[in-house]
Amino acid sequence: MKRAILLLINILVFGMCSFSIELPTYSDVNYKDNVKTVLLHPKGDAFAKPVIFINDMTEALHLEFDILDSEAPYLYYTLIHCSNDWRPTDLPMNDYINGFPYDDVDNYSFSLNTMVDYVHYELDFPNANMMPKISGNYLLVVYGEDQNLENIYFTRRFMVSEEIAVIKANIPRYPYDLNLGTNKQQVNLQVSYPSLFNSRANEYSNVTIQQNGRWDNAVIGLKPSYVYPEYLSYENNKRTVFESGNQFRHLNTSNLNNRPEQTESVRQGEYYYIVTLYPDKKRNHHTYFDEEDLFGGKYIYLEREDKNPSVEADYVMVDFTLDWYPVMTDRDVYVMGAITDWNFNESNKMTYDYNKKCYKLSLLLKQGFYDFIYAVRDKGAKVADVGTVAGDFWETQNEYTIYVYLFDPMLNYDKLIGVTVIRSH
């Protein structure tokens, strides 16, 4: 009853105006330290990008996450419509949402027989209470009882597409400019759509290219290299040349009774299990090693089929070590992937041990299977580099997601008119 009253107050106070809080960034951020293992994907496909289609809203997105606590806080969610470059639009909520502007997240369960207590939440949306009306980029905001920045728990990006564009893409053996390096991967694409002739393509079309789950090196606001009567061509453009990197490393904590692969030790601490991995070595001078990975993804599961990993998987402290000498004084090293939400912050930045000549990091992770890679970033820079540690090999299997936007000057927002996913090989 209390939750219903709070939700009604939210609706009456904020009505259908735009979201009242100005966020520091409109990206995937955990604002509270006790938020863990946020997963957002199409229902039934844990590895797909969070994209749904305007003409089939029955295909819902599935959200699940944990709050490290023994009590369940009241939580609510709302949606913010964004431009192609992830800035909030000026549209009022009733222009892009059918139903209520806010709703509660009321499906939760408590962890069972775990050393670390947590509350597991789940939500499927769109639903009867809230449904996007238009295509484009959206930010999902989960917050507490009071609508202010201090009560925001986390934000996550997702997209709604109209699927009217035809996208053809490929990755040639060499980039157009060999001075960029013969091991780079270049994405070439052609785009056509019904209103191409009337769209003022150079001005109103924008393309985003995302490598795996990364946003730091994503190409945003890409304009066509050539405009033809039948299609737009995005070729021979330096911006579409990506560092290839190497295959991701793996971590598997689904069964702690048998020592997991690549694990030096497993021991029970006072508050959680502690898994220590064998020290990793740099791969930048090695030949490419072909090994399947999840393109940097993660999958929460337990080896025992009679257990429910959503509430029975425990949280484990995992110790990472990267042998490296000397220390990089002007650069920082991070553990990167869905394992750390593809972010670069203090929580996943490694520290240097001068005595052991290595970088170290400990992460509290829910049991499951994780990809990860060591990324290096210049202090103050935005884009990270994986080649320094992992090497750079054209043969690397990467996944590229291409988003095509068309700005509508009458409606004043960027329509998402097509999405496609290609792999480098």
How far are the Cα atoms of 15, 74, 202 from residue 150, in angstroms, in the given order? 21, 14, 41
| Domain end position, chosen among 112, 133, 161 | 161
Q: Are residues 217 and 305 in the same domain?
A: no
Any idea what DSSP says for residue 394? T
Rounded to two decimals, the pTM is 0.94
Which strand ranges, in their side-by-side order, compose the sheet holding 219-222?
A: 219-222, 205-211, 399-408, 413-423
How far are the Cα atoms of 115, 179, 226, 253, 401 from residue 176, in angstroms, in the given order? 54, 9, 15, 43, 21
Q: Are residues 26 and 77 in the same domain?
A: yes
Q: Are residues 38 and 75 in the same domain?
A: yes
CATH number for the domain that contains residue 192: 2.60.40
Whether the CB-CB separation of 137 and 161 falls below 8 Å is answered with: no
Q: Are residues 6 and 62 in the same domain?
A: yes
Q: Residue 310 is inside which H or E element, if any?
A: helix 309-312
Q: Which residue is associated with the tokens 């009867």?
A: 128
Query: How many CA atoms, within 13 angstroms, populate the side-chain half-sphere of residue 252?
Result: 13
**What is the reported pLDDT for 304?**
87
Q: Are residues 120 and 259 in the same domain?
A: no
**Host domain of residue 309:** 249-390
Q: Are residues 20 and 152 in the same domain?
A: yes
Q: Which residues of the chain have pLDDT under 70?
A: 1-19
Any idea what DSSP says for residue 33? T
**What is the reported pLDDT for 13?**
47
Q: What HEC string does 167-221 produce?
A: EEEECCCCCCCHHHCCCCEECEEEEECCCHHHCCHHHHEEEEEEECCCCCCCEEE
| Domain end position, chosen among 161, 179, 196 | 161
Count the domains in the chain. Answer: 3
CA distance 281 to 138: 39
CA distance 79 to 73: 20
Q: Are residues 153 and 283 in the same domain?
A: no
Q: What HEC string does 170-181 produce?
A: ECCCCCCCHHHC
Q: Are residues 51 and 174 in the same domain?
A: no
**What is the reported pLDDT for 98?**
95
| Domain end position, chosen among 161, 184, 206 | 161
**What is the reported pLDDT for 294?**
96
Q: Are residues 200 and 128 in the same domain?
A: no
Task: Give the contacts of 352 (CB within 8 A, at least 6 positions apart).
Answer: 324, 327, 358, 359, 360
**What is the reported pLDDT for 19?**
64
CB atoms within 10 A of CB 262: 13
Q: Are residues 114 and 27 in the same domain?
A: yes
Q: Are residues 345 and 386 in the same domain?
A: yes
Q: Are residues 207 and 271 in the same domain?
A: no
Whether the CB-CB separation of 72 and 118 falls below 8 Å is answered with: no
The token pair that represents 207 in the structure block: 């393309």
315-323 and 273-277: which strand pairing?
parallel
CATH number for the domain that contains residue 51: 2.60.40.10
